[in-house]
Chain A
Amino acid sequence: KNQVEQSPQSLIILEGKNCTLQCNYTVSPFSNLRWYKQDTGRGPVSLTIMTFSENTKSNGRYTATLDADTKQSSLHITASQLSDSASYICVVSDRGSTLGRLYFGRGTQLTVWP
């Protein structure tokens, strides 16, 4: 069964600190992995997208890594800001169908305190 598991479920850190969010998946055949940021009551906004051959990708203070062999990904946030408080969702796409089905994790709820 294709699944995406994220950890931790929630995380509280102080402003300025770094943190790392984890994503494990069993989706096969794998096409790509995306990290989205979702503010409360809003739609998800893409942070990074990585294909099979990419190991790391950065977007400002966000750096995503991918290990396609172990089927693990991480999202590292550097020098956190209050505006980073949101849910971070790992989404994996398969290439076994024309649609390119998206499989969503439940997200990690990050809260940044001043």
Chain B
Amino acid sequence: EADIYQTPRYLVIGTGKKITLECSQTMGHDKMYWYQQDPGMELHLIHYSYGVNSTEKGDLSSESTVSRIRTEHFPLTLESARPSHTSQYLCASSEGQAATEAFFGQGTRLTVV
């Protein structure tokens, strides 16, 4: 079983609030990712990191920001939540070359009202 954890699992929040979605992994993986997934749709990469102090934007434009101060921790922040941010957010990690496994967290279901 993968050792990657996301909190909270579910979040309902009002428009304009600042939120941080937490993601932690205990496998020592260098690469970490954030994906956004709407119901019945594919996952879209919004942020990724090669290691500490490395963050890059993904394919899907997102108003969120990320940080990677520690190897095991990759939080995602929305400064001012909007209803358009309602979605499922999935965190993943992997190590080494592309052939290695990518492990996913359980996801955070965000609803902005």
Contacts and interface: CB of A to CB of B under 8 A. Distances in A.
- The dominant DSSP class at the A interface is strand
Nearest to A45: B104
Interface string B45-63: 1001010000000000000
Interface residues of A, number: 28
Contact of A49 (B31, B90, B101): B101
A99 B62 CA distance: 19
Interface in A1-20: 4
B109 A44 contact: no
A104 B43 contact: yes
Interface string A72-114: 0000000000000000010101110011111011110100000
Contacts of A32: 98-99
B98 A100 contact: yes
Interface in A25-53: 31-32, 34, 36, 41-46, 49, 51
A100 B104 CA distance: 16
B45 A102 contact: yes
A44 B105 CA distance: 8
B97 interface: yes
Interface of B: 2, 6, 31, 33, 40-45, 48, 50, 88, 90, 92, 94, 97-99, 101-107, 109
Interface of A: 4, 31-32, 34, 36, 41-46, 49, 51, 89, 91, 93-95, 98-102, 104-107, 109
